[in-house]
Structure 1
C-alpha cells in the first residue's frame, strides 16, 4: 500500500481523509494542519493516524509516499512544491495554483522527478461526466455547438479569491475533460459584479470561445438563494442535459434540434423532435473515483485523467477571465492553453 498524508483539515480535508481510508491501495499515515486539535478532531479519539501541525515533519517521513493537499489556493505552490521536492506524489485541490506561472513550476517539478501531479477535479469523476465524455468522444452528440452551465448557490463566500476562481474551475475542468482533442479554448470573456463591495466579484458570467467556433458559457454565483447546478451540451446530432441536483434522472439525451436544408441558395430550417433517453448510470461517490485514479497513476506509473497539465489549461482560462473582467468583458486570448 502507498502511504499517504493529508495536508489541511478544514472544509475539504475530512472528505479526503474518509476516501483515502476507503481506498485499498492507500494507507493514511498523517493528517497535517496548522491547528493540530482540529486535525485530531477530524480523526477521532481512536484513530491511529498521526496528527501534526508540522509540514516539514510530514514531508520528512519516509513512509509517506504521497500527499493530498486541501489548503487555501494561495498556499498551493509552496506546499505542493515542497512535497514534490521531497519526492512525494501530489494530489492538490483546485485550482492548481494562484497563477499559470506558479502552476507551470509545479508541473515542471513533477516531470523532472518522475512524480504524479494530479488535480482533484472531482466532477470529472462523476458517472455523469464520464458518460458525457463518452457521448462526445464517440460522436453521439455530433459536433459540439454550445455548452451552457449554471452553478449558483448561497455562499460560501471565499476570503481570498473571487467567485470565478472558486466555482468556475469546476465547469472549466469538466469542459476540458469532455472536449474532443481537436477542439480547444482560444479566448475567454468575463463579466462580474460585487454588489456588497467585498472587493471581489460575487456573481460572474464567463464565455469561452472554442476553436471550432462554438461557445461555452457558465454562470457562477455566491448570492443565489436557490441552488442550481446544470449543464447543457448542444451537438449537431443530439443534446445532453445534466441536472446535478436530480438524484433519479441526472442526465437526459435529446434527439431534438434544428436542421437546415442543403440548398446553398435558399436554406430552410426544420425542427427535429425525436426521443429523449435517460441513460442508466452507476452510483458511487466521485471522490472515491479520484482516489482510485490517484492510486492507479502512482502504482501503474501512468498519467492520471486530471493531471497537472489539465490544471494548467484551467489556469490559463481563469487568468484570461480575470484579465477580461478587469478590461470590461472583452475577449482575451487563452495563453498556454495548448499544454
Structure 2
C-alpha cells in the first residue's frame, strides 16, 4: 500500500481524507494542519492516523510515499517543492501554483525526480466530463462551435484570491480535458467587478480564443443567490448540455442546431435552416469524482505513468488563468497565451 499524508484539514482536506481512506491502494498515515484540534476533529476520536502541525515532520517519515495538499494556493509552490525534494509523489489542489513560471519549475522538478505530480482537477473525473470528452473525440457532435460555462453561487468569498482563481480553474480544466488534441487556447480576455469592495474581483467573465477559431466563454460569480453549474458545448452536428445540479439528467445531447448552406455564396446571404431532432439523455453512473481522483493517483504511482490530470494539464490551466489575470488588470486587454508560456 502507498503511504499517504494529507496536508490541510480545512475546506477540502476532509474530503481528501475520506476518499483516501476509501481507496484500497492508499494507507493514510498522517493529517497535517496548523490547527491540531481541527485535524483531530476531522479524523475522529478513534482514528489511528497520526496528526502533526509540522509538514517537515511528515516529509521526513520514510513510510510516507505521497502527499495530498489542500492548502491555500499561495502555499502550493513551497509545499509541493519541499515534497518533491523529499522524494514524495504529490497530488495538489487546484490551481497548481499562483503563476505559470512557478508551475513550470514544479513540473520540471517532478520529471527530474521521476515522481508523479498530479493536479486535483476533480470535475475532469466526473462521469459527465468523461462522456463529453468521449463524444467530442469520437466526432459525435461534429466540429466544435462554442463552449459556454456558468459557475455561479453565493460565496464562499476567499480571503487570498479572487473569484477568477477560485472558480475558473474548474472550467479551464474541463475545457482542457474535453478539447480535441489539435485544439488549444491561444488568447484570453477577462472582465471583472468588485461590487463589495473586497479588493478582488467577485464577478468575472472570461473569453478564451481557441486555435480552431472557436470562442469559449466562462462566467464565474460569488454573489449569485442562485447556484448554477451549467456547461453548453455546441457542435456542428449536436449540442451537449451539462447541468451538474440535475442528478436525473446531468447530460443531455440535442440533435438540434443550424444547418448552413454548402455553397459559400449562399452562406454569405445567411441562407440557413434549423434542425430540430431528438434529445438523448445517456445513463451515467453516480459516483464521487474525488474517489476516481485518488484511484488514478494511486495507479499512476504504482504503474509509473502520468495521471489523467498531470502537472502539464495543471500548467495549461495556469496559462489560461494567468493570461486572464493580466487581462483583468489591464481593463480587458486581449492577452496571448504564448506570451505566458514562452
TM (normalized to structure 1)?
A: 0.99
2:151 pairs with 1:151: yes
How far apart, in 1, do the equivalents of 2:275 and 2:333 lie? 35
Residue 336 of structure 1 and its aligned partner are, at CA, apart by 7.0
Correspondence list, 1:128-139, <5 A: 128-139=128-139
2:334 pairs with 1:331: yes
Residue 283 of structure 1 and its aligned partner are, at CA, apart by 1.5
How far apart, in 2, do the equivalents of 1:213 and 1:271 lie? 23
Residue 335 of structure 1 and its aligned partner are, at CA, apart by 3.0
| Paired residues of 2:319 and 2:341 also in contact (CA < 8 A) | no
Residue number in structure 2 paired with 1:230: 230
Of residues 255-264 and 217-226 in structure 1, the stretch that sits farther from structure 2 once superposed is 255-264
List, as ranges, runs of 4+ consecutive aligned residues in structure 1 with deviation greater than 6 Å: 336-339
How far apart, in 1, do the equivalents of 2:84 and 2:251 lie? 39
How far apart, in 1, do the equivalents of 2:19 and 2:264 lie? 57
**Superimposed CA distance per residue, residues 263-313 of structure 1 (whole angstroms, 9 cap, x where no aligned partner):** 222232000111100001112100000001101100000111100010000
**Superimposed CA distance per residue, residues 60-90 of structure 1 (whole angstroms, 9 cap, x where no aligned partner):** 0000000000000000001010000000000
Segments of 5+ residues of structure 1 without an aligned counterpart are: none
- Count of aligned positions: 339
Residue number in structure 2 paired with 1:287: 290
Residue number in structure 2 paired with 1:25: 25
| Paired residues of 2:190 and 2:327 also in contact (CA < 8 A) | yes
Residue number in structure 2 paired with 1:204: 204
Segments of 5+ residues of structure 2 without an aligned counterpart are: none
Residue number in structure 1 paired with 2:254: 254
2:311 pairs with 1:305: no
Residue 10 of structure 1 and its aligned partner are, at CA, apart by 0.5
Structure 2 residue matching 1:95: 3-state secondary structure: coil
Residue number in structure 1 paired with 2:127: 127
Residue 54 of structure 1 and its aligned partner are, at CA, apart by 1.1
How far apart, in 2, do the equivalents of 1:112 and 1:328 lie? 39
Residue number in structure 2 paired with 1:72: 72
How far apart, in 2, do the equivalents of 1:144 and 1:263 lie? 20
Structure 2 residue matching 1:195: 3-state secondary structure: coil
**Superimposed CA distance per residue, residues 159-197 of structure 1 (whole angstroms, 9 cap, x where no aligned partner):** 111100000000000000000010000000000000111
How far apart, in 1, do the equivalents of 2:341 and 2:83 lie? 26
| Paired residues of 1:313 and 1:337 also in contact (CA < 8 A) | no
Residue number in structure 2 paired with 1:55: 55
| Paired residues of 2:100 and 2:340 also in contact (CA < 8 A) | no
RMSD between superposed Cα atoms in Å:
1.1
Correspondence list, 1:77-156, <5 A: 77-156=77-156
How far apart, in 2, do the equivalents of 1:181 and 1:238 lie? 20
Q: 1:287 to 1:337 in 2, by over 3 A?
A: farther
Of residues 328-337 and 268-277 in structure 1, the stretch that sits farther from structure 2 once superposed is 328-337
Structure 1 residue matching 2:338: 3-state secondary structure: coil
**Superimposed CA distance per residue, residues 188-222 of structure 1 (whole angstroms, 9 cap, x where no aligned partner):** 00000001111100000001000000011010000
Structure 2 residue matching 1:206: 3-state secondary structure: strand
**Superimposed CA distance per residue, residues 14-68 of structure 1 (whole angstroms, 9 cap, x where no aligned partner):** 0000000000000000001111111111111000000011111100000000000
How far apart, in 1, do the equivalents of 2:296 and 2:181 lie? 21
Structure 1 residue matching 2:29: 3-state secondary structure: strand
How far apart, in 2, do the equivalents of 1:295 and 1:337 lie? 32
Structure 2 residue matching 1:318: 3-state secondary structure: helix
